A and B are shown apart, each in its own frame.
Chain A
Amino acid sequence: MDLAAILFYVFALVTIGSAAVVVFSRNIVHAAFSLMFTLMGVAALYVLLYADFLAATQLLVYVGGILILILFGVMLTSQGYTLNFREATVNVVPAGLLSVAAAILLIYAFSTGGWVITEVDERTDTVYDLGMMLMTDYLLVFIVAGVLLLVAIIGAIVMSTRLSVNTED
């Protein structure tokens, strides 16, 4: 096994392991913190695929930006409120059966399926290629993604602002 493969498995394990902590941890700060390792693991996987620009963006935007926002959000919302959720788990048996069945089916399909394997070729000018593609082939989706974010911001404002302040009753 060469070095790249070993590194791949290490980072894959880090990504999955910390993602599991995000899902299963009861403490929201622990969950937010382990999300950092998930995002960094994904960034490392991008590097292994020669997607250097994507890896840098992942670090800057997700680890450096969004994660900090999440931590601030956790810090600024009162702790008492977040800890006092009344937990109720319903339909454990049917949901469990369905998840296990889906997991077995997916694992079976993934391990027996014949994948199309593409050799990753080393790239020298990723940013140039990426820029060209965003301005040609993927121009429309690039712009539509911007509109999607605009709609999401408006939606977030509508959902999060308090009514009592600005509504005449």
Chain B
Amino acid sequence: MAEQTLQSIGLYLPEITLVLALTVIILADLLAERFRNAGGWILLTGLVVAGFFTFRQFGASESIFFDMAAVDTYGAYFKSMILLAAGFVTVFSLRSAELKAYASRVGEYYMLLAGMVLGMLMMVGSTNVLLIYLAFEVTSLSSYVLTGFTKKSPRSTEASMKYIIYGSVSSAVMIYGISLLVGFTGATGIYEINAALSGGIASDQLLLVNLAVLMIVVGMGFKVAVVPFHFWAPDVYEGAPFPVTSILAVGSKIAAFGLLTRFFVITFTTATDGGGAAGWSVVDGIRWDLLLGAMAALAMIVGNLTALRQTNIKRMLAYSSIAHAGYLLMGLVVLTGQGLAAMMFYLFVYLFMNLGAFYVAMLFSNATGAETLADYRGLGHRAPLQAVSLTIFLVALTGLPPTGGFVAKLFLFGAAISAGWIWLVIIAGITTIISLFYYIRVVRVMYFEKPDEGAEPLRFSADTRVVLLLLLIPTLALGLYFSPLMDLSRAAVAIFGF
């Protein structure tokens, strides 16, 4: 007993580090009142240390805390992505002009950010519905408050209120579904639930089990913001301060996909028949692959078409992230090792290109207050490096070579074609072309429209340029040299038996 607990603690160090970081920030906030940004630096240190511990978990395959959570390459891959994203967002926060106005309470900001990252780390590792729900709530609660952190802005408060209402309803639906599932199978571990379901579901239980799965799809679909559960995303992304929008769009999406994939693949599929449509056979009655495929297709269509009409840059990126959730979901729909590995690769590239786009938007907003497309007039002449970087990030988001976005889409579409989902790939291809229009529109405004008379070139400090390059180089490098990461993704999905 005690040995297992001690051994589990040794394998749960990344999460423990973040809890420690959270408490140290609380203490530092009390003791060192004059160093306002101390919280940010403590969190950054915590993230680096957690990253070190996570790095050592690659290649492990352990079940810890009495089968509550798993430590494996899959989890380590997702945790690394989350910690990277959180590290970038912390750096963004230290530079954010929106947060400067709240210097006296920025300590709380970093506490909640630490809590959110902790929740996301637990989400991708948990193998028990109890822990899944708690991790989900830790993440959600901190993101509700962070969204409304800039209290003087009515938009931010409104966004927070909407997020709380949507979020609590969807969590309630999800926990209802989970309770039904637990009620049927008498187990809370996802492997035991799978074993109970694989043992055969009586015909009079089929409806209830399907309802339970549907409710869980609702809750998790909300978190990844996939159509038709996307309504909160544009308002929340627009109202929240830039760093919070970035972590919501990137970190929480990565964590939700990590959780969704582990939970769905282990609970509702049989690993032995190797994926494809047959893989979903544990729960008969509804073609779950078709349902998820339709959700993915809708997300791509609705996200990209609505983004065409947006003039606010944050809203545009919000709709684009809904569309990306659709592309990512394709990897789960096809349910092959190739598809899941492609999804994980895509998430890694998405991290850099999307954070990059948000970072440049934040820099422009810091310097000029720019939020609408019209404010971007002539920025190509006033801030050349930043505008070129934004162009590259947008090209990557579209999925054009020579960026990582192209390779990621190529793998994903290739996996879907080889699994026979031709119609889904056709929709994805068409919507990708549509997305080119609104991404390139930003570039056109920056370069081909003249700046206002007498507008000075914008100045940015050297450290922002370093951060920008740190985001830019992987975006480009992954377009040329991608095989090690792809091999790692493939090794990670091996836990599902593919």
* Assembled-state Cα–Cα distance A169/B103 (Å): 10
B207 contacts A114, C-beta separation under 8 Å? no
B31 within 8 A of A: no
A141 within 8 A of B: yes
A113 contacts B204, C-beta separation under 8 Å? yes
B-side interface mostly: helix
Within 8 A of B (CB), among A94-153: 105-106, 108-110, 112-116, 118, 136-141, 144-145, 147-148, 150-152
A105 contacts B131, C-beta separation under 8 Å? no
Which of B68, B105, B135, B145 is A155 in contact with, Cβ under 8 Å? Answer: B145
Distance in Å: Cβ of A63 to nearest Cβ of chain B: 22
Please judge, given known A-B contacts A159-B148, A166-B105, whether A136 and B142 are in contact too, CB under 8 Å: no
* Assembled-state Cα–Cα distance A110/B208 (Å): 7
Q: Which residue in chain B gives the minimum CB-CB distance to A115?
A: B183
A144 contacts B208, C-beta separation under 8 Å? no
A167 contacts B19, C-beta separation under 8 Å? no
Q: Which residue in chain B gives the minimum CB-CB distance to A146?
A: B19
Please judge, given known A-B contacts A158-B149, A168-B103, A168-B104, whether A116 and B186 are in contact too, CB under 8 Å: yes
A158 contacts B130, C-beta separation under 8 Å? no
A-side interface mostly: helix
A114 contacts B202, C-beta separation under 8 Å? yes
- Give the A interface residue count (CB, 8 A): 35
B142 contacts A151, C-beta separation under 8 Å? yes
Within 8 A of A (CB), among B103-161: 103-105, 108, 111-112, 115, 118-119, 122, 128, 130-131, 134-135, 137-138, 141-142, 144-145, 148-149, 151-152
B141 contacts A155, C-beta separation under 8 Å? yes
Contacts of B141 in A (CB 8 A): 148, 151-152, 155
A155 contacts B66, C-beta separation under 8 Å? no
B134 contacts A145, C-beta separation under 8 Å? yes
B207 contacts A109, C-beta separation under 8 Å? yes
A1 within 8 A of B: no
Identify 18 new A-B residue pairs, CB closer than 8 A, beyond the known A116-B183, A148-B134, A151-B111: A109-B208, A110-B208, A114-B204, A115-B184, A136-B1, A140-B12, A140-B66, A144-B135, A144-B138, A148-B138, A154-B145, A155-B112, A155-B142, A166-B104, A167-B101, A168-B103, A168-B104, A169-B101
Which of A138, A155, A163 is B152 in contact with, Cβ under 8 Å? Answer: A163
Contacts of A154 in B (CB 8 A): 26, 108, 111-112, 115, 145
A92 within 8 A of B: no
Contacts of A147 in B (CB 8 A): 19, 22, 115, 118, 138
B115 contacts A151, C-beta separation under 8 Å? yes
